[in-house]
Amino acid sequence: MNCSESALHIKSSRKCPIQTKKETKNGSWNECSENTERAVIIEKNPEALLQRVRLIKNAKKEIILSTFAFQSDESGKLILGALHDAADRGVHIRLLVDGMESWIDMEGNPYFYGLSSHENVEIKLYNKANPLKPWKMMGRMHDKYLIADGKRYILGGRNTYNYFLGDFPGHKNYDRDVLVVCDEPEKENSVNQLLEYFETIWEQEDSGYFHDNKKLANRKSVKNAVLELQNGYQKYFEEN
């Protein structure tokens, strides 16, 4: 059983004796809880990539992804392919990336232009890099989370590229995420707190749109990039 399945199989019990709640501190708290949210740790990089792809694939209405760094390497392309596939299904995508990192990794990149030019996608950059205002360059955004349909999210220390996700050649960073599931969110649930936080950052004056010109989709390089993303994503999901 993988980590998402284990989270989904945990049942909540609303009728729990008070004395049992007090006694259960470090034991089997999942067996007796009034909290409607369930969480599980994602330890390994390959599982971290797979769970992100699954969360995106199963989304019906909206996907929110906030990340410090997003590269178009193997794992980054798989996430881009999953997001593009979701957008094709009519899912609304909002992507928020740090302005300095996006200047390095996303500017002039046909893979990101293919996503940003989609009618169901919005991409914003937090504190866009501006060489004429060097004093602003230290204003960075290190958030790393993915929310699907306002019910499930992954949050932790992993950025969106090979260094953190998947099992590709090269040096790896070993970090952790938590997958939180809440099929019936209530006002006080953490998923709503995270959504509220995202909206605050999204609406800030320092958050500006990445290239959203729909005509970018007509470029040959962008068309080829989108086709590559679609094929790579389909192959990955068929194998996993």
Give the three-state DSSP class for 183. coil
Alpha carbon 120 to chain centroid distance? Answer: 16
Mean pLDDT of 199-204: 96
Buried b (16+ CB within 10 A) or exposed e, 17-31: eeeeeeeeeeeeebe
Q: How many domains does the chain have?
A: 1
The answer to whether residue 117 is domain-embedded is yes
DSSP 229: H
Mean pLDDT of 71-97: 98
Closest CA to 151 of 196, 182, 186: 182
The answer to whether residue 184 is domain-embedded is yes
The Cα 46–Cα 11 span in angstroms is: 27
Mean pLDDT of 4-22: 37
The answer to whether residue 148 is domain-embedded is yes
What CATH number is given to the structural domain containing 43?
A: 3.30.870.10
The Cα 181–Cα 217 span in angstroms is: 35
State pLDDT tens for residues 150-189.
Answer: 999 999 999 999 999 999 988 889 899 999 999 887 878 8
Q: What is the pTM of this model?
A: 0.84
* First CA to last CA distance, the chain: 14
Q: CB burial class (10 A; 0-12, 13-18, 19+) of residue 12?
A: middle
The answer to whether residue 1 is domain-embedded is no
